[in-house]
Amino acid sequence: MNAFPATLLIFALGAYVAGIAGALLFQRAERLANGIGFGLAAVGGFCGVLACASALATGAVTASQSFELFPSLIPFVRFSIHADALGCFFGMIVSLLGWALSIYSLGYARGYYGRKNVGVFGAGFNLLLLATTLVFLADHALFFLIAWEIMALTAYSLVSFEHEQEETRNAGVLFFVMSHLGTGCLILGFLLLFQASGSYGFDSFHALGNTLPAGRRNVVFLLFLIGFGVKAGMVPLHIWLPAAHPVAPSNVSALMSGVIVKTGIYGLTRVGFDFLGTPPNWWGVTVLTIGTISAVLGVLYALMEHDLKRLLAYHSIENIGIILMGLGAALMFRHSGHPVLASLALIAGLYHTLNHAVFKALLFLGAGAVLHATHTRNMEDMGGLAKRMRWTALFFLVGAVAISALPPLNGFVSEWLTYQSLLQGFGTTTRLIRLMFPLSGAMLALTGALAAACFVKAFGITFLAQPRSNPARHAHEAPFPMLLGQGILTAACVFLGLFPTLFLKLFDPLTQQLTGQQLSQQLTTANGLVLSGGGAQGGTVSTLGITLMLLCLLPVPLGLWLLFARRSRTRIAPTWDCGLRGLTPQMEYTATGFSKPLRMIFKALFRPRREVQREYDFSPYFATTLRFESHVEEVFQTRIYRPLRWLVLRASRRTRALQAGSIQAYLIYIFVTLLALLLFAL
Amino acid sequence: MFVHDTLLNRLKRGCETMAYPAGPAPALPDRHGGALRVEAAKCQAGCAACVAVCPTEAITRPPNQAVALDLGRCIFCAECIKACPAGAITQTGDHRLAVRRRDDLVLGEAGREQLRLAVALDAKLRRLFGRSLKLRQVSAGGCNACEADTNVLGTIGWDLGRFGIQFVASPRHADGLLITGPVSKNMELALRKTYAAVPEPRIVIAVGACAIAGGPFVGHPQVNNGAGALVPVDLFIPGCPPHPLTILDGLLRLLGRLEDAPRRS
Amino acid sequence: MNLPALVLQLLLLLLLAPLVSGVIKNWKAKLQNRRGPRPWQVYFDLAKFLRKDMVISEHASWVFSFAPYVVFLTALLTGLMVPMVHTPAPLSLYGGVLAVVGLLALGRFFLALGGLDPASAFGGMGSSREMTLSAIAEPALMLAIFTVAITAKSTDLSQIALSTQSATGKLLNPAHVLAFAAMFVVLLAETGRIPVDNPATHLELTMIHEAMLLEYSGRHLAFMEWGASIKQLVLMTLFLNVFFPVGLAGPGAGAGALGLSLLAFLAKLLALSAAVVVVETTNAKLRLFRAPDLLSAAFVLATLALLSTFLFH
Amino acid sequence: MNPSAATEISSQAITLMATLMLLVQLLMTAQRMLLTSIRLFAIQSLLLAGIAALVAYHHNASHVYVVAGLTLIGKVIFLPWLLNRLVHRIQIHQEIEPLLNAPTSMLICGGLTLLGYVLARPFTSMERLGNNTLGIALTLLLTGFFLMINRRKALTQVLALLTVENGVMLAAVALTSYGMPLVVELGIFFDVLVAVMVLGILVYRIRESFASMDTSKLNQLKG
């Protein structure tokens, strides 16, 4: 990589390290620790974005070599980073989010003054950013695993930052256990690769799949799929995500949902495309199926939530599902030998990764601002915040429109690309497997529509109508840094949505490296205004055109307004309440009510359970107190993880008998094993 | 199968809507005497036979003045016709009863033997509601007779929709209220709120004796003696209950859709 | 995109949409043996609503007044993307069928938010049901579109229309018939017609689409109603010109051909309206939780259509 | 005497002393008196010191002298004194009866000796002085281990552990021509020293809380 981006990248990493040191040094002075910690993180993030974006844009990334950060004292480990196209792209995501979230955290951390140690919080945040960036840029398996472990540990410590509540501690432990199960699989996978290639360097792993025997290759793929799948939050392994993200402080959950989850996607892409060469067909089919299931289940469970941050966490699972659909399709195309379609599907998947990182972080920041103001995550106690928190409401609305894949924002663009790749995928093979493409396309449509329903609920119940509790009634707008953080991400959402053709150039080095195709010319027509689905068959869409046309059509209603209704006046009156004594906030629609029809329709999946306790004095018709409780069964928890845990406990209870408590017994065990080994050695 | 039979039956029956107002008005039932005609001149001096017999005290005869029959309070029981020795009160069989002002309903003096029928809305309102009037029906404690007759207008025979008049669910969509019933104390707040919920310009139609003056419940402490006490009423359609033809005639007259209606310039 | 075609299609959209819903109302009345409102009654209603004042709820935020314009404009814009008279729709470059579905979803998104804003229970109920049913209808719609797009090898509506137009045999092949049936059910669901939702009901508890409009008045209500009728026209046109592009003028057609194409389009539109009216007259509204069964039946139909694209030829 | 004759005599002496160490070990297995066990252990350590001195003298490796001296001071004088003091303070002189009675344990020790020799056979070529001292060292190790399992009293188990350690030291001294590097020797030695001290305290504590040195009482802790 030529001079400018490399030095800037090193400067960014240095800024993070300085941020850690600064935050820890000035722990005592909270305001200073906050300023330095997050300030330096913001500077680091900004430099990171500049470095990676310029490297990708100018194509300098193709000429980059790996270089050692610092000499390694430990044998076998080489702390070397190599900012290739894939690493740079994900580095750009983490830096962009790091920049916006740090600015947001300057305001958010004020909530912790006097309560928690802001210095440690800032240092942890910087360390998390540093570790994640290194994960993306690491060029050596062991260095990758070290960075991965630091990331997991810092994330754990930040997730359980507010460890006073029981719920936080449990979520932290669950996150810890699940992420280390994944890391275990990763280590095995890397060992197998090391065994095949002889060295830990990533460059030696390149296209290793072709040399590996088929059985070994499948095992490696499965190990990496599980390992990275846990971190990405695929459906069977997702249970930690909706537990861990809501309890974390909002800027951390934004970073986790936006970026840490993407390390799983980065891993899968690196292994699937870079390491293991041309994949067999069943890999792509598995990833596509898992993606589809994750998408649909993620959004269905999100709909049932009335905890704002759990809702957003489930949506992370849904969007990861959509990204996996893109990757799965790309893998299938690589198998069937269609590099152009493979690059299109890959671009769709990775573009959605970037988009999801941006709008999910934006939504979490919005949720954080709401939490900051109303001190609750329960949507049933919110309401009417749009009039009290104007800017946060606007930013949350933009995020909601983006995540529901509605034109003209970025969610729509990446889902449109996914549709195009799925549609054109139908023609690639003649075997029955091609039916998967349109069916997963239909499931993607179902997901998109359910996501729209979910975010009408999320935005409507939280921000519109009357406040349903006193904290919501006295809510105040978030401080300026928090708004600035959200503003940056909103601008990113709009910009990514309106000018997709500009960003497709960034993907050229990426697809060149992974699939050997450069698609940005084929995907842009009408001198960069319109995005096309590639080739003659692909349809075209221009979000910029749509927005401009919407503005051009504005005179029609305005003209009608002037023509007919110039003298009409507007009167503010109470909402029509059928002549009763007025609508109280309790009469409004709540999150549970809003999702009731869907809970009834998908009864088989949710198995809803509701209890109504009614206490009354003399006659059952005049209840003194009424308690209503409704639960949606966590199917994965009860059907898979609880029986699994029961088996493990039973097995461990049985082996406890070994612990007889007498020294003789233990000595006998040692002696017997010693003898066995000696005999075996004969 | 079902769809086939339904369609054939419907097509065979063809349009069953009456021709009125283009064609002749349907005949009133013989029990329905139509409008009343009061000639105070025929009254014998000092005779107050009709005043005593009227169940809703609609007829008053102050000492040395002419008899006054307030059609708004009259429930058309025709007792006064039988009781009047001089035959001063007669039924004209005319179904048209709608009036714009409350005091137009008082009959008796020289020039006012019969009702002066309602004039259409002024030009501005007629341009607005002429072709499309959406009403919100408020039953303020009524006995459901007027409501039933208003409802009849929606059936296929009368088909109120063909004139562009429609009853809507929400007052926000409505242009006016059609009030029935004596506006009981319990419905007072509801009526007030419904009126406030209708965007201007709005009109109010009081249908039936109760809505005009409290009908048989007039003077009762739990009743506000009609809608006039709460909201400005634009059209009064007397009767207990007024015949659907009378209500329809009132509505069309209000919108100026009847040729013989005197148009105010 | 040429400006005159765009302006013409815009005017056509604005004027034809209320007429179509007026005709449907009138024909429904005729089938109920009553004369019913005249087809152009909807114009009078819209004109009156535009002139009237507005009453806005005190709890409503800016989203409430923003929603009508979004609904109206997105409906108009989708109308310009769909080939009505002239095969390459004026804005076909800016978006294919996916953009049309996306824009309609954007309109529905803000319509539902507008329903929730004034804090009335009916509005919330309407939004919840609308979003639920449209979510269930979406996969069937997308699969039907996929089927047709696969046979036409593009999601661009003009391409689809051209390809179905060129191969005359295409109209009768089973894939098209099944996709047509699925699409028709989705059309009824999306435009809030009888089997799924009753547009002429007064009972708030049974409303789906109307419940969200209960709080709107004056010109907001006018734009909402107009937007809804334009959306209905757009969906009907999408339905017609994808499955029966008979008589659709080719790219370089002269004025005469355009006139003929307009007449063919109107004839097809009236035929489809007649079909809708017949369905509405002879069916009762389904209970809310039976509607998903109908829509999943549509989904199965669409899947069969997809299967038959390559099973039978 | 020419050097070869000297090596001959010293290797025979070393083999003799190693065999005597084995004999002492078997005696410890058989008898039940605590004080005699301690004395037997002292004798065994003395023999080990002798072997170390002989090897040091023969290879004139000075640091092995240090090892021999340490063994002498530590294991012949200091540890037996410490354990005797402990026994007198606890006033228990006899172990009631071990898990396996004497004849069976003797049989097992025989088997272990056989195993030790069989295992040591491939390595005999590496020995400098004394033939198959490695076999004896391994046997010492195994029988020490068995002794630890067999006995209930904590004190006897400590002694058994020390004999195991003697076995290891014997292997180290016998196998390597210069003996293990001094630092390893010191490490092992001090390790053992500390271990014994800790075990001493432990024995005292067990005696304190369970009123008997029987370690099988410990399983009450498990609950």
- pLDDT tens, A624-646? 888 988 888 888 888 889 999 99
* Percentage of chain C lying above the pLDDT 90 cut: 51
CA closest to A573 among chain B residues:
B197
On the question of pLDDT at D157 being above 70, the answer is yes
| pLDDT tens for each residue of D177-216 | 555 666 677 777 777 777 777 777 777 777 777 666 666 6
Q: How many domains does chain C have?
A: 1
Q: Which of B17, B135, B162 to mutate to test the interface with C (most CBs of C within 10 A)?
A: B162
Q: Ramachandran region of residue C300, left (φ > 0), alpha (ψ -120 to 50) or beta?
A: alpha
CA closest to C217 among chain B residues:
B172
CB atoms within 10 A of CB C173: 17
CA closest to A446 among chain C residues:
C139
User: What mean pLDDT comes out for the span B212-217?
Assistant: 89
Nearest-CA distance B250 → chain C (Å): 19
Nearest-CA distance C70 → chain A (Å): 9
**What's the rounded Cα separation, in Å, for the pair A233 and B46?**
99
Alpha carbon separation from B168 to B253, B254, C23 (Å, rounded): 21, 19, 20
- CATH number assigned to the domain covering B123-254: 3.40.50.12280
Instruction: Kindly state whether A579 is in contact with chain B, defined as any CB-CB distance less than 8 angstroms.
Output: yes
User: What mean pLDDT comes out for the span B136-145?
Assistant: 92
Q: Ramachandran region of residue A307, left (φ > 0), alpha (ψ -120 to 50) or beta?
A: beta
Q: Are A300 and A602 in contact (CB under 8 A)?
A: yes
Residues recorded for chain C: 313
Q: Please, which contacts does C23-29 make with residues 24 or more away whose CB atoms are closer than 8 Å?
A: C23/C270, C23/C273, C24/C273, C24/C276, C24/C277, C24/C280, C25/C200, C27/C273, C27/C274, C27/C277, C28/C277, C28/C280, C28/C281, C29/B159, C29/B161, C29/B162
- D with B: 3 or more CB pairs under 8 Å? no
DSSP B184: B
Task: Provide, as residue numbers in chain A, all residues whose Cβ is less than 8 Å from the Cβ of C131.
Answer: 449, 452-453, 456-457
* Percentage of chain D lying above the pLDDT 70 cut: 83
DSSP C172: G
User: Which residue in the set D149, D152, D222 is minimally distant from A661, CB to CB?
Assistant: D222
pLDDT digits (tens), chain C, 313 positions: 578 889 999 999 999 999 999 999 999 999 999 998 999 999 999 999 999 999 999 999 999 999 999 999 999 999 999 988 888 888 888 888 889 999 999 999 999 999 999 989 999 999 999 999 999 998 888 888 888 888 777 778 888 888 877 765 666 777 888 888 999 999 999 998 888 888 888 888 888 888 999 999 999 999 999 999 999 999 999 888 888 887 787 777 788 888 888 999 999 999 999 999 999 988 888 888 888 889 988 988 888 888 887 766 5
User: Which residue in the set C69, C118, C218 is minimally distant from A575, CB to CB?
Assistant: C118
User: What mean pLDDT comes out for the span B213-217?
Assistant: 88
Nearest-CA distance D154 → chain A (Å): 10
Q: Print the domain residue range for C261.
A: 3-311
Instruction: Kindly state whether B187 is in contact with chain A, defined as any CB-CB distance less than 8 angstroms.
Output: yes
**What's the rounded Cα separation, in Å, for the pair B152 and A178?**
70
Q: B264 falls in which pLDDT band (50, 70, 90)?
A: very low
- B with C: 3 or more CB pairs under 8 Å? yes
**Cβ contacts from A onto D, under 8 A:** 38
Nearest-CA distance A556 → chain B (Å): 22
User: Which residue in the set D142, D149, D220 is minimally distant from A667, CB to CB?
Assistant: D149
User: Which residues 245-274 of C have a C-beta within 8 angstroms of A?
Assistant: none
Q: What is the pTM of this model?
A: 0.86
Write the secondary structure of A479-524 as one string of H (helix), E (strand) and C (coil).
CHHHHHHHHHHHHHHHHHHHCHHHHHHHHHHHHHHHHCCCCHHHHE
Strands A80-81 and A67-68: antiparallel
Q: Interface partners of A (3+ CB pairs, < 8 Å)?
A: B, C, D
CA closest to A571 among chain B residues:
B199
Q: Interface partners of D (3+ CB pairs, < 8 Å)?
A: A
Please answer yes or no on whether B10 and C54 come within 8 Å at the CB atom.
no
Q: Are B207 and B150 in contact (CB under 8 A)?
A: yes
| pLDDT tens for each residue of D63-105 | 778 888 888 888 888 888 888 888 888 777 666 667 777 788 8
* Percentage of chain A lying above the pLDDT 70 cut: 98
Please answer yes or no on whether A662 and D216 come within 8 Å at the CB atom.
yes
Instruction: Kindly state whether A598 is in contact with chain C, defined as any CB-CB distance less than 8 angstroms.
Output: yes
User: Which residue in the set A569, A571, A579 is minimally distant from B193, CB to CB?
Assistant: A579
User: What mean pLDDT comes out for the span A97-123?
Assistant: 92
User: Which residues 375-404 of A have a C-beta within 8 angstroms of C?
Assistant: 383-384, 386-387, 393, 397, 401, 404
Please answer yes or no on whether C76 and A542 come within 8 Å at the CB atom.
no
Please answer yes or no on whether A668 and D216 come within 8 Å at the CB atom.
no
Instruction: Kindly state whether B27 is in contact with chain A, defined as any CB-CB distance less than 8 angstroms.
Output: no
Please answer yes or no on whether A387 and C61 come within 8 Å at the CB atom.
yes
User: Which residue in the set C98, C119, C149 is minimally distant from A583, CB to CB?
Assistant: C119
Please answer yes or no on whether D221 and A659 come within 8 Å at the CB atom.
no
Of B186, B184, B196, B192, which Cα lies nearest the Cα of B225? B184
Nearest-CA distance A657 → chain D (Å): 11
| pLDDT tens for each residue of A597-621 | 999 888 888 888 889 898 988 888 8
CA closest to C139 among chain A residues:
A442
Instruction: Kindly state whether A674 is in contact with chain D, defined as any CB-CB distance less than 8 angstroms.
Output: yes
Provide the pLDDT for residue D1. Answer: 47
Q: Interface partners of B (3+ CB pairs, < 8 Å)?
A: A, C
Judged by DSSP in three states, B18 sits in: coil
Please answer yes or no on whether A553 and C10 come within 8 Å at the CB atom.
yes
Task: Provide, as residue numbers in chain B, all residues whose Cβ is less than 8 Å from the Cβ of A580.
Answer: 190
Instruction: Kindly state whether A461 is in contact with chain C, defined as any CB-CB distance less than 8 angstroms.
Output: yes
Q: Which residue has the higher pLDDT, C27 or D56?
A: C27
Hey, which residues does B166 pair with through a beta bridge? B134
Q: D112 falls in which pLDDT band (50, 70, 90)?
A: confident
On the question of pLDDT at B186 being above 50, the answer is yes
Provide the pLDDT for residue B247. Answer: 93
Element (H, E) at A627: strand A623-631
Please answer yes or no on whether C53 and A570 come within 8 Å at the CB atom.
yes
Task: Provide, as residue numbers in chain B, all residues whose Cβ is less than 8 Å from the Cβ of A574.
Answer: 193
On the question of pLDDT at D219 being above 80, the answer is no
Q: Interface partners of C (3+ CB pairs, < 8 Å)?
A: A, B
Instruction: Kindly state whether B39 is in contact with chain C, defined as any CB-CB distance less than 8 angstroms.
Output: no
Task: Provide, as residue numbers in chain C, all residues whose Cβ is less than 8 Å from the Cβ of B156.
Answer: 32-34
Of A206, A542, A522, which Cα lies nearest the Cα of A341? A522
Provide the pLDDT for residue C226. Answer: 94
Please answer yes or no on whether C124 and A456 come within 8 Å at the CB atom.
no
DSSP D217: G
Of A453, A386, B196, which Cα lies nearest the Cα of C117? A386
On the question of pLDDT at B265 being above 50, the answer is no
| pLDDT tens for each residue of A374-416 | 988 899 999 889 999 999 999 999 999 999 999 989 999 999 9
Nearest-CA distance B138 → chain C (Å): 14
On the question of pLDDT at A332 being above 80, the answer is yes
Q: Are A291 and A422 in contact (CB under 8 A)?
A: no
**Whole-number CA gyration radius for chain D:** 18
**What are the backbone angles phi and psi of residue A612, rounded to the nearest 5°?**
-120, 115
Nearest-CA distance D126 → chain A (Å): 18
Hey, which residues does D33 pair with through a beta bridge? D94
On the question of pLDDT at D25 being above 70, the answer is yes
Instruction: Kindly state whether C116 is in contact with chain A, defined as any CB-CB distance less than 8 angstroms.
Output: yes
| pLDDT tens for each residue of A516-539 | 888 877 777 776 677 777 766 667
| pLDDT tens for each residue of A210-234 | 888 888 999 999 999 999 999 999 9
User: Which residue in the set A569, A571, A579 is minimally distant from B194, CB to CB?
Assistant: A579
Instruction: Kindly state whether B103 is in contact with chain C, defined as any CB-CB distance less than 8 angstroms.
Output: no
Task: Provide, as residue numbers in chain C, all residues whose Cβ is less than 8 Å from the Cβ of B176.
Answer: none
